[in-house]
Amino acid sequence: MYSFICDYSEGAHPNILKALADTCYEQNEGYNYDQHCLTAAKRIKEEIKRDDVDVYFLPGGTPTNLISITACLRSYEAIIAPSTGHIEVHETGAIEAAGHKILPIETPDGKLTPSHIQKILNGFEDEHTVRRKMVFLTNPTENGTIYKKAELQAIRKICDDNDMYLYIDGARLGCAIMAEGNDVKMEDLPEIADIFYIGGTKNGALMAEALVIVNDKIKPDFRFHIKQRGALTAKGSVLGIQFEELMRDNLYFKLAKHSNEMAQKMAKELEGLGFSFLTQSPTNQIFPILPNSIISELEKSYQFYIWEVVDHDHSAIRLVTSWATPEEKVDQFIKDLKQFI
């Protein structure tokens, strides 16, 4: 049984584990003040070509979203997000538990547009309603799709025009950056977002995300928010070491590239076999639509999610590859599938 369930099925990349082993008796400052965090932050600043940002390392996507949002907002300020956004559907109301309303928007492919946002802004706003203060988007989206640079810039503009923060959840950011057709560079992100994160857990880390704060208004007292939400890691060096390795010799991007290539190889084969897809994903998550009979056969040897019922006889499944997916598993999957046609 091989799993295409997600990109966090495997552990961490060997380089990371070697670095952790090599430093296990080293004494470090706690709480992200260690040399590894400093070095990793420096490498990230070089990558995005900005020295005037604050970088924090956090142990997971949900705490990163939660802390970023609560640090930006007062209690009556709300977040506009796609209805497929992780904060809206898959964080057990974490944002609301911290006091903030999410204003969800239905989208065809998980991507927000200025007109989506404008629709929410057109609603009546005074002290009887929440104030719209932040836009949340994910790149790549939960549907595997990516934003073009011009699309992000247009969203930046509507945020500027309406005094809203723009937060980019980059849980799989590497896969967006390395996707075919992408024109967003790492150095573009601080021009576009007020705050964003570079996801490590879904790209070869044990558990680590790198949060980048660009907007000066968000910087003060940020460590108070991290600690209060339980995410100020005592052994901060463990997080720093992971990003030190990911940012060494482009490992982060190489892993994302591999991950994309494995999914895209499957996508190309499936397309060649005449199957269509729920969304046009150039990243490591693809959503082919298959006859239910074939799905049943595949389920005997592979794990994956059935994502959506398409019609009586067809469903879309989600196939996710990772930094660790061997090419032979991808080949075998296609080979097996061909048998069931």
Binders in 47-106 for its own copies, by CB under 8 A: 59-63, 66, 70, 74-76, 78, 89-94, 96-102
Give the residue with the Cβ less far from its own copies, 200 or 288: 200
Q: What is d(CA 48, CA 45) in angstroms, rounded to the nearest whole number?
A: 5
Q: Is the dihedral of CA 241, 142, 48, 78 positive or negative?
A: negative
Pick from 111, 116, 156, 202 the residue near its own copies by CB under 8 A: 202
Number of H helices, E strands in the chain: 14, 13
Of 28-47, binders to its own copies (CB under 8 A) are 28-30
Non-local (6+) Cβ contacts of 245 within 8 A are 13, 15, 16, 19, 251
Q: Is 115 in the site for its own copies (CB under 8 A)?
A: no
Could you tell me how many residues of this chain bind its own copies (CB under 8 A)?
74
**Smallest distance from the beta carbon of 5 to its own copies, in angstroms?**
8
Q: Is 246 in the site for its own copies (CB under 8 A)?
A: no
Q: What is d(CA 243, CA 247) in angstroms, rounded to the nearest whole number?
A: 6
Q: Is 182 in the site for its own copies (CB under 8 A)?
A: no
Q: What is d(CA 81, CA 83) in angstroms, rounded to the nearest whole number?
A: 6
Pick from 23, 35, 113, 153 the residue near its own copies by CB under 8 A: 23
Q: What is d(CA 176, CA 139) in angstroms, rounded to the nearest whole number?
A: 6
Of 127-156, binders to its own copies (CB under 8 A) are 127-131
Q: Is 121 in the site for its own copies (CB under 8 A)?
A: no
**Smallest distance from the beta carbon of 224 to its own copies, in angstroms?**
4
* Residue 32 Cα distances to 12, 21, 91, 281, 339, angstroms: 20, 19, 25, 36, 52
Give the residue with the Cβ less far from its own copies, 14 or 338: 14
> Binding segment for its own copies among 113-121, 152-160, 201-209, 312-320 (CB under 8 A)?
201-209
Of 206-235, binders to its own copies (CB under 8 A) are 206-207, 221, 223-235
Of 267-326, binders to its own copies (CB under 8 A) are 324
Residues 334, 269: contact at Cβ < 8 Å? Answer: yes
